[in-house]
């Protein structure tokens, strides 16, 4: 419409030649939503329209100016201008909306992409953590493998050294075994018993005949060839058990001492050893008053300590270390004379080398020398430690061996020895008990070199104590009071000794008979037929006093 009006106006004004209208040209392109339509308009912009009216045309003419048409034109142009502005503003709003929509879409896509990237980064971080953890584990495993390899190499080296050491030990043990296995003429050959004979003697291993339990098997009481005996069996006949059996038979076949258990015979096929039967059981049984037995008197305890010291001196003089001293291995005969048994783990110290034997530590916890447990070096001082613990048990009674030395040390420091002495024993002589306690503590020193010597120190203290003991302390009944104790009899002349003396073999003999034996050119023991280390003799004052007191009792 606007174009039509403009066209008409231009024609009319041209005809009149008196009016001209100029417009600034501008171009506006309106795009539809689809972007397919466009049109170009002549737009009036910037203030009021510019008109050029010649003075002649406004003032005169045949018809005069057409103001209505002009107003209509101006109005149309204003409307057109308004619509163009509205269309332009709408276009701008749409453009902004489209731009915002595009930005929102792009922002959403960007946020989604960013979220995906963040997820990927998180997954990658987790993978990195897992890889790092796996790497650390792998490094730890590699380090562990390297340590294991190093340990294996060290174990191989140690094994090689142990093999060399084992070879040396085998050679040493062979020397020890050769030392133990003297020619048959110098040994007392034990009797041979068949397994059938032994089974018949103990009722086919009847549990009611069982009197004890050893490390390798039970001990039974039975009758063999009209003699009451103790039968020690071996349940598990492994290599170690057989070695223990053979060693014990060899040791007890070679040695004889009043305080060593007597070997009667053996059954090699079944690894069974037959000993003399000792009716009063073990020292452990008596200290714990097993079967409600009467507690040992203090005199009997002192005598047992002296006898144990005597047999240890004898063993050590022959380079034999027991290695497993404890009350269970100290047996008591009818007169409560102690008999040392169980030589399964004893060792012979090579006289040509240092005075110790390296072996696998064995024994009983609480009695075993701690130095032997740590180093494996078994020597006579190891027996001294165990002897000290046994002294403490004789003083305190049924107290456990573990920690007993510390308890006694504390009691001595606090001057309350009487509190730890066995309460079942009456009239403990305090002076002797204190002397024994201090002696036991010296024997239990941690450092082996600080422990006393049995022959020169311990025996010197125990021998006078034993001599002072009343013979009645080891008599148990009026009937036994009329029997002559076996250790009163001289092994040579088989008569009661008047002047007993201890020879180098550890046995006590009548001095006159022993002198005749030595003067007759003999340099061997009358009991074992082994060569004596020396020909010196020591008076056994304790035994002499005991014999005299016993003879006085017989005359009453």
Reading the block at residue 531, the tokens are 């060569």
Residue of 193, 203, 202 whose CA lies nearest to 222? 202
Q: Cα separations (Å) of 81 from 28, 32, 78, 453, 532?
A: 11, 18, 5, 136, 150
Tell me, what DSSP letter sits at residue 458?
I
Instruction: Give, in degrees to the nearest 5, the angle at Cα 303 between 506 and 221.
Output: 80
Q: Residue 289: CB partners within 8 Å, gap ≥ 6?
A: 295, 398, 424
Residue of 189, 155, 153, 194 whose CA lies nearest to 263? 189
Quick check: 262 and 391 in contact, CB under 8 A? Answer: no
Q: Residue 395: CB partners within 8 Å, gap ≥ 6?
A: 301, 408, 420, 421, 422, 433, 436, 437, 440
User: Of 324, 369, 371, 383, which residue is the catalytic one?
Assistant: 324
Going through 58-215 in order, the beta strands assigned E by DSSP cover 191-192, 210-213
Reply yes or no on whether 179 is catalytic: no
- Residue 397: Cβ within 10 Å count: 19
Q: How far is residue 245's CA from residue 234's CA, in Å, rounded to a whole number?
A: 8
Reading the block at residue 327, the tokens are 């009350």
Burial class (CB in 10 A: 0-12, 13-18, 19+), 252: buried
Q: How far is residue 164's CA from residue 142's CA, in Å, rounded to a whole number?
A: 33
Q: Residue 234: CB partners within 8 Å, gap ≥ 6?
A: 216, 217, 241, 242, 244, 245, 270, 271, 272
Reading the block at residue 519, the tokens are 């003067």
Active site residues: 324
């Amino acid at each position: 419409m606007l174009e039509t009006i403009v066209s008409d106006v231009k024609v009319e004004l041209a005809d009149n030649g008196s009016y001209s209208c100029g417009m600034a040209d501008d171009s506006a392109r309106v795009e539809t939503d689809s972007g397919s339509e466009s049109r170009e308009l002549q737009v009036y912009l910037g203030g009021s329209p510019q008109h050029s009216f010649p003075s002649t045309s406004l003032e005169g003419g045949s018809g005069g100016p057409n103001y209505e048409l002009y107003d209509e034109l101006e109005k149309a142009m204003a409307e057109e201008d308004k619509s163009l502005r509205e269309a332009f503003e709408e276009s701008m709003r749409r453009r902004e909306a489209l731009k915002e929509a595009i930005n929102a879409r792009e922002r959403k896509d960007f946020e989604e992409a960013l979220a995906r990237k963040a997820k990927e980064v998180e997954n990658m971080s987790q993978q990195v953590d897992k890889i790092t953890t796996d790497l650390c584990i792998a490094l730890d495993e590699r380090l562990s493998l390297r340590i294991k390899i190093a340990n294996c190499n060290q174990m191989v080296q140690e094994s090689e050294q142990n093999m060399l050491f084992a070879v040396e030990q085998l050679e040493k043990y062979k020397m020890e075994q050769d030392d133990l296995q003297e020619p048959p003429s110098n040994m007392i050959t034990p009797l041979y018993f068949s397994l059938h004979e032994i089974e018949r003697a103990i009722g086919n291993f009847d549990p009611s005949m069982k009197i004890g339990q050893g490390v390798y098997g039970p001990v039974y009481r039975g009758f063999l060839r009209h003699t009451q005996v103790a039968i020690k069996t071996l349940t598990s006949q492994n290599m170690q058990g057989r070695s223990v059996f053979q060693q014990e038979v060899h040791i007890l076949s070679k040695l004889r001492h009043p305080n060593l258990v007597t070997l009667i015979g053996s059954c090699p096929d079944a690894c069974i050893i037959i000993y003399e039967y000792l009716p009063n059981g073990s020292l452990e049984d008596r200290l714990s008053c097993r079967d409600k037995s009467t507690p040992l008197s203090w005199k009997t305890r002192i005598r047992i300590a002296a006898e144990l010291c005597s047999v240890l001196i004898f063993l050590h003089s022959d380079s034999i270390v027991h290695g497993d001293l404890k009350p269970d291995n100290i047996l008591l005969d009818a007169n409560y004379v102690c008999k040392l048994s169980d030589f399964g783990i004893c060792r012979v110290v090579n006289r040509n080398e240092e005075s110790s034997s390296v072996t696998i530590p064995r024994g009983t916890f609480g009695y075993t020398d701690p130095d032997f447990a740590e180093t494996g070096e078994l020597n006579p001082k190891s027996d001294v430690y165990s002897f000290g613990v046994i002294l403490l048990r004789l003083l305190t009674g049924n107290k456990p061996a573990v920690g007993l030395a510390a308890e006694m040390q504390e009691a001595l420091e606090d001057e309350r020895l009487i509190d730890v002495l066995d309460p079942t024993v009456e009239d403990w002589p305090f002076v002797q008990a204190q002397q024994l306690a201090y002696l036991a503590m010296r024997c239990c020193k941690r450092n082996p070199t600080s422990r006393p010597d049995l022959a020169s120190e311990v025996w010197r203290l125990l021998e006078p104590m034993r001599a002072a003991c009343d013979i009645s302390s080891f008599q148990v009944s009026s009937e036994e009071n009329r029997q002559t104790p076996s250790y009163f009899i001289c092994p040579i002349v088989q008569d009661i000794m008047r002047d007993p003396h201890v020879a180098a073999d550890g046995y006590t003999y009548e001095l006159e008979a022993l002198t005749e034996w030595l003067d007759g050119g003999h340099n061997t023991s009358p009991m074992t037929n082994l060569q004596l280390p020396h020909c010196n003799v020591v008076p056994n004052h304790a035994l002499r006093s005991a014999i005299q007191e016993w003879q006085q009792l017989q005359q009453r």
